[in-house]
Amino acid sequence: MSSAVDLIVKKRGGGELTRAEIQTLVAGLLSGSVADYQMSAFLMATFFRGMTDAETVALTQAMLNSGRVLKLASVKKPKIDKHSTGGVGDKISVCLAPLVAACGVAVPMVSGRGLGHTGGTLDKLEAIPGFSVDLSARRFEHVVRTVGTSMIGQTAEIAPADRRIYALRDVTGTVECIPLIVASILSKKLAEGIDGLVLDVKAGRGAFMKDRKAAESLARALVSVGQRAGKRVVALVTDMSAPIGLTIGNALETREAIAVLQDGGPADTRELTLALGVEMLLLAGVTRSPQQAEARLKQALSSGAGFECFLRLVKAQGGDVRSVEHPERLPQAKAKVAVRAAKAGRVLAIDPLELGLAAVALGAGRSRTDQRVDPAAGIEIAAACGTRVARGEPLAWLHAKTTALAQAELARVERAFTLGSGSFRAKPRVLSRITGAPKVR
């Protein structure tokens, strides 16, 4: 049997590892027979040499099988999840999961926390007082079966190899490697016991992938590997050149998601929710065409079925239902400071990265995994792209614990807004759709 050093050298030289060799490396990392520094060397070799689809599938499955794989045997409906690669103002999962569940699809969702300028679904849900994202596998299955959806965090039992490998990638400069990204995402998602997965791959300044070409490359890799692993997978590449909706921050974004479920909300937040929901219904096979799927989703919004499903989810996971029925009860910041326009003009662009970083500084996000977030902190956009403003009118409102904390971010947020005299035409959020026929295993 080849040693870890042999496998590092093989990958360094551009060789293709077998499924058994990759399993040996992953198992060895968990058992201690492969040292962290050896895995780090392998990750760097992979960063430069890449992986074939077959290797990426093998790595995904080795990481998937390093822990517990949920079966959700008692859930008889088709089980479809959605994953986003992360953006600014991305509250879509909060409204999408109950909406799709209200249309007859089970949505088991293992989500993450925010890190850096991108927010996390778990932090948004925990802005609801009492909401617990730490459910046992048994309770998770029960909630999915009885409510139609459940959203929890990754437990120590799910893909533990991913936790170890991601921690090494984070400190060795090997995060930006498509095969490693694919294996990390899919190993967690496939552990949920799902039948299919819809991916929202962001492209733009506020995303991990800054340009459309790179995002489409990642989307194709995710779809290909997911399908080779035997799942139905489709990806939408979506625009992240401006924040999604009008809010950034946990309680603020949760309120916006609630507005969507009450058949309102900003147009682009609603657009993305419906577009991803259509793909989930199609993968589940509960509708035959995009038009039927969209009509069904809109009916669930107008009838209140999606909102009612969210209320049941909140109750099942210990949250305060009154805070959802009356969103003004959600956490509110003590300080609210206006960012005012220095000149008159039309808002031509809003930099999502700068607003995301400002939101972190206000307390809405974290730069380290051990940091706590302030659920009330964040940014409320007062002048969306295309809006005309007079000098002195608010561009945004900063929500923070103290006025001083908010004032420290005034200049950064003002610079994020580009004002001019030109015309503005809103772009669709969905840039492209990546799909294909599943391959025979």
Question: What pLDDT, in 10s, does the model give residues 417-432?
Answer: 999 998 898 889 999 9
pLDDT digits (tens, 9 = 90+) for 121-168: 999 999 999 999 999 989 999 999 999 999 998 777 888 999 899 889
What radius of gyration, in Å, describes the C-alpha atoms of the chain?
A: 22
Q: Is the pLDDT of residue 117 over 90?
A: no
Question: What pLDDT is stored for residue 113 in this prediction?
Answer: 79
Question: What pLDDT is stored for residue 2 in this prediction?
Answer: 83
Same-domain status, 91 and 180: yes
Q: Which CATH number do you get for residue 22?
A: 1.20.970.10
Same-domain status, 255 and 370: no
Same-domain status, 222 and 142: yes
Same-domain status, 271 and 357: no
Mean residue pLDDT of the chain comes to 94
Same-domain status, 132 and 164: yes
pLDDT digits (tens, 9 = 90+) for 76-104: 999 999 999 989 999 999 999 999 999 99
Same-domain status, 313 and 345: no
Instruction: Report whether 202 contacts 179 (CB < 8 A).
Output: no
This model's pTM is above 0.85: yes
Same-domain status, 36 and 150: no
Q: Which CATH number do you get for residue 144?
A: 3.40.1030.10
Q: Is the pLDDT of residue 246 over 90?
A: yes
Question: What pLDDT is stored for residue 439 in this prediction?
Answer: 43
Instruction: Report whether 145 contacts 75 (CB < 8 A).
Output: yes
Label each residue of 125-171 as H, E or C.
HCCCCCCCCCCCHHHHHHHHHHHCEEEEECCCCCCHHHHHHHHHHHH
Give the max Cα distance, the chain.
72
Same-domain status, 130 and 212: yes
Same-domain status, 273 and 416: no
Pairing of strands 394-400, 335-340: antiparallel
Mean pLDDT of 359-366: 92
Same-domain status, 27 and 97: no
Same-domain status, 342 and 301: no
Q: Which of 365, 85, 422, 124 is nearest to 222 (CA)?
A: 85
Question: Which residues are tagged catalytic?
Answer: 83, 162, 169, 184, 188
Residues β-bridged to residue 43: none
Structural domain harbouring 160: 80-326+430-434
In a domain, 70, yes or no: no
The fraction of the chain above a pLDDT of 90, given in percent, is 84
Q: Is the pLDDT of residue 269 over 80?
A: yes
Task: Give the number of domains in the chain.
Answer: 3
In a domain, 244, yes or no: yes
Residues β-bridged to residue 77: none
CA 278 → CA 193, 270, 346, distances in Å?
A: 21, 12, 34
Q: Is the pLDDT of residue 436 over 80?
A: no
CA distance 217 to 236: 12
Mean pLDDT of 224-251: 95
In a domain, 61, yes or no: no
